[in-house]
Amino acid sequence: MIAEIGLAALWLAAALAVLQMVSGAFALKAAEGEVNPLAIYARPAAVVQAALAVLAFVMLLYAFAVTDLSIKLVASNSHSMKPFIYKLTGTWGNHEGSMLLWVGVLALSGGMLAAFERRLPERTMGATLAVQGFVALGFYAFLLLSSNPFERLPVPAAEGSGLNPLLQDIGLAIHPPTLYAGYVGLSVAFSLAMGALLTREVNPAFARVMRPWVLGAWVLLTFGITAGSYWAYYELGWGGWWFWDPVENASLMPWLAATALMHSVSVLAARDALRTWTIMLGVLAFSMSMLGTFLVRSGVLTSVHAFAVDPERGAFILGLLGLYIGGAFTIFALRAGAVAEGKRFAVTSREGALVFNNVMLSAILAIVLLGTLYPLLTEAFDVRVSVGPPYFNPASAIFAIPMFLVMAVGPLLRWRSDKPARIQFEMLLLASLLIAVIALVSFFGSYPFLPLLGLGLAAALAVAAVLPLRGRKLARVPVATWGMVLAHFGVAVALFGMACEGAFSEERLAAVAPGGTEQIGDFAVTLESVAPVAGPNWTAIEARLAVRQDGGAPVLLNPQARSFWSPPQSTSESALLTKWNGQLYAVIGNQAEDGRWQIRLWWKPFVTFIWYGGLLIALGGILSIAGRVRVDVKRRAAIAKGAQRRADLDALGGVPAPVPAE
């Protein structure tokens, strides 16, 4: 019954998406300030659709929780012996389940928009919900016609075939759902952008409605990418934290677009500038989420992380992509000219700096997009290539470096128009800091240029991040400004971690006999023994490594080489020793014929700062949302209070009522 309830809920949700789309479209037929009678169904349809989509997902979650082997998806992706938590995460560790999660979050955010958003004009709201319904409908069609998650087996399976062991990790419990929620949050920004474009209502009020969705999606993407990077770092066992893999790029590209969009929507909300640019980025950000899904799911590119690939499904998603993105860009081309330009500003102004950084972010996005798609392009000419770090690192650095420089001084500039001479002192301070750090570090050794520059930039950015607070009463600084300060400081922290990892990492690959000791950094690592261990659905060989720092008390590390039996696959479980100033990373490899074991060790100074930085950036975003919400609630309360006073005044016949002291 469970599967049938889930399937029925999905069909009903799809029907409601049609209703939402048609009813919302009628809103456009209404005259200014009026509501078309047929448009009133859009909001309730969105809310009920959200409930049904969530119900469908809960049903699938339940089927995985009890390992219902009569459902094909459960039988092919789960196993009764699997730990309970991984049974649950298995729900979205596969193609159908992840698409259901995607559409569930999409419907939920559409429902929330419909239920809580009252500031937008009804026409724009209707158009937005129509677009949101249209987007959702495509995904329902995809699930119901091509990847039904609730398909039954003619005969229930005796046992399931397991979950890709790489996915059997707690990192998976949080990483993809976070990214998905971020992607889907961008779908709301997309619908809002299209809605505003259709009604030509691109103005600060619209930007204030869009901003929390963009901020929220951006926070989730930041968090998801940070978590994903750390997951790849410790789970894949190769000691790196970013490989420019197509799947990684698929999450980075929407983040880059969302970062640009977030800044541009703030300018639109505060200064009524960058109207067309904001709409363009709104379309682009969601396009990048869709493109990422397409690249990951269709199998057109080879990746170390692509888990569920199928060209036919790829064709379906490509069709959706053409419909949404092609349609959006067509409307954009037809309508954007009709959106009046916003306020003007000088080149040297806060707006000018933000535009510059948006252009740099877009350039980096183009670089990543080109690098990701280039293999696809050459393959069309029967040439298979792989584009890797030798392309991405220098190419993106060309745009990232000027971006960081402008990012340092941008928040110090005034809105609309400013003179560089006014912030002479700050610029001088930052420049000398940059040069001093590079000179100081080069003095102690020779290091590659990019990490060195990264160190200097990190120092300058860290100081620049807090400079906007200079000379202000800290208690009166808006919470949203604290958010910006924290996020920019997080960028400096992450950059510091990346630069240190790049410049100062030490690596050792050694064949060690039990009892033998290897030296790396300040650490003496002794291989005490290697023994087999068994887990719930795997066996492993586990090394006992005693790590002594400067001859201190030993700490045990236990890297494993695991073998899963269902499906058969081996993974390398790295062991990490985290210190405040870095991580010791240990991996056990194969046994040589002479009985010695291959041990790989890395000492990575301050590598953890990469992820701390990511978390700070996300936290900055959260603060920013909280600040905006607080201001919004206060404003509403003030308006309500004002209305109350006016009513009281009227009741008293024009005599002012005594106002209680606050």
Partner 1 sequence: MRSRLILWVPLALFAFFAGLAAFMLTQEKDQFVESTMIGRPLPDFALDPAFEGLPGAAKADFGGEPKLLNIWASWCTPCIAEAPQLEALKAQGAQIIGIAIRDRPEDVARFLARYGNPYTRIGSDPISEVQLGIGSSGVPETFVIDGKGVIRYQHIGDIRESDVPVLLAELEKAR
Q: In Å, how far are 19, 101, 306, 452 from 43, measured between CA atoms?
A: 10, 22, 37, 54
Q: Which is nearest to 183 in space by CA: 228, 157, 221, 211?
A: 221
**Minimum CB distance to partner 1, residue 196 (Å):** 16
Fill in the per-residue mask, 568 to 597: x = in contact with partner 1 (CB under 8 A), - = not in contact: ---------------------xx-------
Angle, vertex CA 161, rays to CA 159 and CA 165, nearest 5: 135
Taking CB under 8 A as the rule, does residue 344 contact partner 1?
no
Q: What count of other Cβ atoms lies within 10 Å of the Cβ of residue 334?
A: 10
Report how far residue 624's alpha carbon sits from residue 183's, in angstroms, rounded to the nearest whole number. 19
Taking CB under 8 A as the rule, does residue 383 contact partner 1?
yes
Nearer to partner 1, 308 or 486 (CB): 308
DSSP label at residue 71? B
Q: In Å, how far are 279, 449, 527, 530, 592 from 518, measured between CA atoms?
A: 57, 30, 8, 16, 17
Taking CB under 8 A as the rule, does residue 190 contact partner 1?
no
Burial of 374 (C-beta count, 10 Å sphere; 0-12/13-18/19+): middle
Report how far residue 334's alpha carbon sits from residue 194's, in angstroms, rounded to the nearest whole number. 12
Is the distance from CB of 182 to CB of 141 less than 8 angstroms?
no
Q: What are phi and psi of 525, to 5 degrees?
A: -110, 120
Q: Which is nearest to 251 in space by CA: 316, 296, 189?
A: 296
Half-sphere exposure of 234 (CA within 13 A, CB side): 21
Q: Which range, of 158-166, 387-395, 396-404, 434-442, touches partner 1 by CB under 8 A?
A: 387-395
Name which position in 111, 204, 239, 483 contacts partner 1 (CB under 8 A).
239
Name which position in 254, 314, 342, 621 contacts partner 1 (CB under 8 A).
314
Name which position in 102, 180, 294, 597 contacts partner 1 (CB under 8 A).
294
> In angstroms, how far is the first alpha carbon of the chain from the final one?
59
**Minimum CB distance to partner 1, residue 330 (Å):** 6
Q: Which of residues 359-378 bind partner 1 (CB under 8 A)?
A: 373, 376-378
**Minimum CB distance to partner 1, residue 290 (Å):** 11
Taking CB under 8 A as the rule, does residue 650 contact partner 1?
no
Name which position in 439, 509, 513, 592 contacts partner 1 (CB under 8 A).
509
Q: Which of residues 245-284 bind partner 1 (CB under 8 A)?
A: 245-246, 280, 283-284
Half-sphere exposure of 581 (CA within 13 A, CB side): 5
Q: Which range, of 201-209, 236-244, 480-488, 514-522, touches partner 1 by CB under 8 A?
A: 236-244
Nearer to partner 1, 245 or 418 (CB): 245
Nearer to partner 1, 154 or 337 (CB): 337
**Minimum CB distance to partner 1, residue 275 (Å):** 13
Name which position in 4, 159, 507, 632 contacts partner 1 (CB under 8 A).
507
Q: What count of other Cβ atoms lies within 10 Å of the Cβ of residue 426?
A: 17
Report how far residue 135's alpha carbon sits from residue 112's, in angstroms, rounded to the nearest whole number. 16
Taking CB under 8 A as the rule, does residue 311 contact partner 1?
yes
Taking CB under 8 A as the rule, does residue 332 contact partner 1?
yes
Q: What count of other Cβ atoms lies within 10 Å of the Cβ of residue 330?
A: 10
Taking CB under 8 A as the rule, does residue 82 contact partner 1?
no
Is the distance from CB of 216 to CB of 625 less than 8 angstroms?
yes
Q: Which range, of 316-324, 345-353, 485-493, 611-619, touches partner 1 by CB under 8 A?
A: 316-324
**Minimum CB distance to partner 1, residue 365 (Å):** 12
Taking CB under 8 A as the rule, does residue 380 contact partner 1?
yes
Give the interface with partner 1 as residue ranges (CB under 8 A). Answer: 237-239, 243, 245-246, 280, 283-284, 287, 294, 298, 300, 302-304, 311, 314-315, 318, 321-322, 325-326, 329-330, 332-333, 336-337, 373, 376-380, 382-386, 388-390, 507, 509, 589-590, 598, 600
